[in-house]
Amino acid sequence: AWPAGAADPDGLSERAAARSAARSEAVRAIRAALDAVRRAEQARDHNRVTLDRALDAQQAAQTAERAAAQVVAAARSEAEASLAAWWREHGSQLPQEIAEPLADALADALAGVGEPEAPTMSVVYSAAVQPRADALRGRQAELRAERGRLETERAETVAERDRIAAEHDDAPPARAGRAADTSAMPGAPLWRLVRFADAVGDAEAAGLEAALEAAGLLDAWITPEAAPVTSGDSLAYLRPGPAAAGPSLADVLVPDVASGEDSPVSAARLTAILRSVATGGDLAAHPAVITRDGRYAQGVQAGAHRKEHAEFIGATARRRRREARIAECEDRLSALDGMLDDLDAQAAQLSDALLVLDAAASALPRTGAITAALQELGRADAVLRATREAADQAQASYDEAVAAVGVTERALHRTAAEHRIAPDAADAVEAAVQRFGTAAKELTAARREEGRQRENVGAAEERLTVAEDEAQAAAAEEASAQLKYAEEQAKLDALHSTLGADAAAVLAQVQEAETALSGAEAEVVTARDAERDAASQAGAATATLNAAREAAFVAAAEERATARDLAPYAQRELLDLLKCPPGLSWPAQEADWAGERLPEAVTAVHAAIGAATRDLAPSENTLKASTTRLTKALDDLQAQLGAAGQDYRPEWDGADGVIVVRIADEQGPLPVGAFAQRIAAARRDQQLLLSDSEQRILEDALLTRLAQQIHDRTVDSRDLIRRMNTEMRSRRMSSGATVGVAWLLADDLDAEQRAVCSLLDADAARLTPDALARMRTHFASQIKNARARWRDRPYRELLADVLDYRTWRQFAFHLVRPDGSEERLTRARHSRLSGGEQSVSLHLPLFAAAHAMLNSAAPHAPRLLALDEAFAGVDDTGRGELLALAAQFDLDLFMTGYDLWAAHASVPAAAHYDLAHSPQQHAVSALLLVWDGSELLADDAGELAAALGSPGTRRVPVAA
């Protein structure tokens, strides 16, 4: 036992704590070493499992790599067999000059499938047959132009024949001086007013008409009355002159005019004119002489003319002339029809030849299996390399883990030796240390408790002493109080004896006063209790009122929330389905919900829905049955719309508790009821308009029109690209090389797309019903896939994308060496060119395309091409070559750029504005420099700009 007041005389607590801490530290070190050993062993085991998995994965990867290699070999063998079959089927149909080099080129292309920058068989085939195809298409263009010319000539000939047959082409050819419009003039030409006399033979009639035509009398105008010849009147007139002394035209020509007012010229005036022209053999006998053998004389003019037959004078002559000319037109039409048939035959042969080339291109063996197998082989190789690396890494990790286990075990033994504790006894030592520490703590606590109890005993003894002193003082006070009480009692008794009855009355009054006072105090207490009860009741009533108000507010909020939940049921489609009265609406603005009462529109909707559903009593079973029927109906609707083939997309949403079904088509989503009405109306219209066969005929007609349009645009594009290719090959770089361009089918097209492209290469008139059906099926499938891929795009845009023939083909460029050899110009090949060749090869297609397009403009139109930051990164030599190229194409360039000068010998003329910015003056100045082909002239004095026609306004401030 410790003496009173002693804390820890022997220092047992400190020694126990130090010994316990030392042992605990040793145990922790041993345990840490054991944990390190266990973690190292776990890591070793985990790495062993990882190594086994990596080895298994490596084995599987090796197996997959061998299988992929076998698939590649099989795919190559199958492709070689397909190429051999293709060659047997199509090789004999190809021209000899194409077939011989093509066989080796296709074999090399097939062998090079999978190699980087290796050309595909389609590219090789296209490069081989492209010149032949271009030649055929060029010949087709020539035939189309020739056919257009012949069709125009044939139409003109048909029009001429119809005009002759309609007797609208009897007049002789117009002579100079006969340009006046005679449609509204009175009178008629001579040939229309006369006929030959019956005694005149055919030979004499031919001579007379030939002389009249040569002399200018045949189509001369005869007016009903004499009229002066005015200046500017481009017409020749006949008028009566001196009558001939001998025979005259009146003896051989007879007036052929109607009598009366309908006659354009009177017979008397016409006879007088005819008698003014002699028909004798002497040309000098009269001022105007016409002989029967075709001679004529007019004043100082004399001459002769001959014709086989009379053509204009007399209905018989005119009819004979018409028949001869119609026969001539028929002969010319027969010849033109023969030429057109021959052109059609040649065009058909060219189309067949192109179809053979396209069919061979479409039937080329596909190398997709080889490419896919090579890709799979590449992936297998990558997986094998990855698994090998993973296996090597796992082996290294396992070795490291084994080494780490050895290191941690040695560290454990070293720690155990340092602390003289066996690793197996670490738990026992730790338990002993814990027990020792616990015992030491208990002993220390017991000693501290003993000291506190000793202090409590001393304090209790002190309190006992004080209590004894207080008890003695209280006894003394009690004795003094007893003495004082005895004295007071004695005084009271003496007072009673002295006062007597008066004292009793006073005491009674005192007693009553005390009683009244006690009652008043009791009433005060009762009143205070009543006041507290009233205050408590008032507080309870206030709390009840507040709770009622809060409940009313909550109820109103819930009522509004419930009313707002009624919004999905206020849709017009649902109200119509419930047969609610029209005119119901739902508040469209938040301001309509202001106020304590619900909007009247909401109350009306609720009352209408309540009235419509008053007789309904749904149960759980009926709700389940309704849900089942609705689900089945939606499935049936989706199936029927999918089977319609019109890309109708049903959509429904039940997020608001009401399942609303809408049908989306090219016009957007519509409620199912409105959609059904529109479909019913469309069906009625369709039944009135078209039957199935009529619809098919209409679709074929539209598809034929579409195919013809695509064919024409494709042909025009080919012609444009052929012209580009010709222009590009005719312009060479300084090294002698040049670049050619071709327009080939895209590599990503499938077999069906290639087949449709082949069909569209032919004229639409040659398409068979099977071809139209195949095209219809293909485009319908493409449109359906596009609708499924882009559901939100308008139908017009989808149709434009599907029918965009430009995406079906791609441009292919070829580098043409000076010796004529060609190779595909790929990115890798382009990167190996010199800097100048790279620039020229990039700008040459641009210049050629602009040149080909601008050739369709008028000769005086500007050939403008704008280049921003022109020739950036190109040295001066390359710029000179590019400018020479632009000059060869006769292009007008508008260029901007830093340090850009067009002062090259190949440039005939250029205007250059050099701009300078002044930050201090906040202005930009411009200096004009003109290159005239040999010298650069600066506009220092402003005279050069004026000479070029500049108004000079840029030098005048805006404020002025």
Q: How far is Cα 615 from Cα 15, in angstroms, rounded to an integer?
A: 94
276-286 in b/e form (b: 16+ CB < 10 A) is bbbbbeebeeb
Angle at 79 between CA 78 and CA 84, to 5 degrees: 100
- How many other CB atoms are found less than 10 A from the CB of residue 211? 27
pLDDT at 3: 44
Helix (H) or strand (E) holding 769: helix 769-789
SS3 content of the chain, % helix, strand, coil (to 5): 65, 10, 25
pLDDT in tens, 870-911: 887 777 777 888 888 888 888 888 999 877 888 888 888 898
- Compute the average pLDDT of residues 249-261: 74
* Residue 893 dihedral angles phi and psi, to the nearest 5°: -95, 135
Three-state DSSP at 703 gives helix
Residue 5 has pLDDT above 60, yes or no: no
At 651, the amino acid letter reads: E
Average pLDDT over residues 220-246: 83
Query: Binning pLDDT at 50, 70 and 90, where does residue 458 land?
Result: confident
Q: What residue type is assigned to position 349 of the chain? A: Q
SS3 call for 711: helix
Q: Which of 878, 937, 885, 938 is nearest to 907 (CA)?
A: 885
Q: How far apart are CA 340 and CA 146, in angstroms?
A: 9
Residue 1, pLDDT > 60, answer no
Closest CA to 430 of 26, 857, 815: 26
- d(CA 508, CA 506) in angstroms, rounded, equals 5
Q: Quickly list H helices, 647-750.
A: 672-689, 692-730
Instruction: Give the SS3 label for residue 911.
Output: strand
Q: What is the mean pLDDT of residues 817-835?
A: 80
74 phi and psi angles, rounded to 5 deg: -65, -40
pLDDT of residue 642: 72
Helix residue ranges per DSSP H, 166-218: 190-193, 202-215
Instruction: Answer for the pair 121, 367: CB distance below 8 angstroms, yes or no.
Output: yes
Question: For 257-288, how does the pLDDT look when each residue is reduced to its tens digit (9 = 90+)?
Answer: 765 555 788 888 888 888 888 887 788 788 88
Residue 724 has pLDDT above 50, yes or no: yes
The rounded distance, in Å, linking the Cα atoms of 728 and 737 is 11
**439-443, 452-456, 470-474, 777-781: which has the highest mean pLDDT?**
777-781
Q: What does 569-635 look like in DSSP terms, one character per residue?
A: GG-HHHHHHTTPPTT-----SGGGG-SSSPPHHHHHHHHHHHHHTTT----HHHHHHHHHHHHHHHH
Give 12's pLDDT tier (boundaries 50, 70, 90).
Answer: low
Query: Rounded distance, CA 234 to CA 23, Å?
Result: 143
User: Rounded distance, CA 119 to CA 107, Å?
Assistant: 12
Q: Which residue has the higher pLDDT, 956 or 403?
A: 403
Q: Is 435 helix (H, G, I), strand (E, B) or coil?
A: helix
Q: CA 805 to CA 707: how far, in whole Å?
A: 11
- Structure tokens, 919: 């930050």
With the C-alpha atoms ordered 310, 311, 317, 322, is the resulting torsion angle positive or negative?
Answer: positive
Q: What is the Cα–Cα distance from 135 to 131, expressed in whole angstroms?
A: 6
Q: Over 50: is that where the pLDDT of 939 sits?
A: yes
Query: Angle 692-730/835-854 helices, nearest 10 degrees?
Result: 130
pLDDT, position 596: 67
Distance CA 64, CA 68 (A): 6
Closest CA to 713 of 606, 803, 605, 613: 803
- The distance from CA 291 to its chain's CA centroid, rounded to whole angstroms, is 85
Q: How many CA atoms, within 13 angstroms, populate the side-chain half-sphere of residue 244?
A: 25
Q: Note the pTM of the prediction, 2 decimals.
A: 0.38
Q: What is the DSSP letter of 826?
A: -
Q: Are strands 194-196 and 253-255 parallel, antiparallel or unpaired?
A: antiparallel
